[in-house]
Amino acid sequence: MRRMAPLRAECSVMRLHSYRDESHSRHFDLIGGGGHPWSIDLVYVTASAILVVGFGCALVAQWVH
């Protein structure tokens, strides 16, 4: 039987970053660290989720009708 090496626990810290752009609009970014730094704009995610849910509701309404 082969012994497995112990897994190294890596801490992935996420931070909420808020800023205003040139037109004074507020943006919220969720920024993650670790080996591959990433960021995601929470305003775009929220707008996309609302559109997807609305599209899903429209499809269900068409199927029910």
- Condensed to tens digits (0 to 9), the pLDDT of residues 36-60 reads 888 888 988 999 999 999 999 999 9
pLDDT for the residue numbered 4: 56
- Distance (Å) of CA 63 to CA 9, 21, 49, 50, 59: 48, 42, 21, 20, 6
- pLDDT higher than threshold 60 for residue 9: no
Residue keyed to tokens 């808020």: 18
Q: What is the pTM of this model?
A: 0.58
Q: What gap in Å lies between CA 39 and CA 24, rounded to an integer?
A: 20
DSSP code for 61: H
For the chain, counts of helices (H) and of strands (E): 1, 3
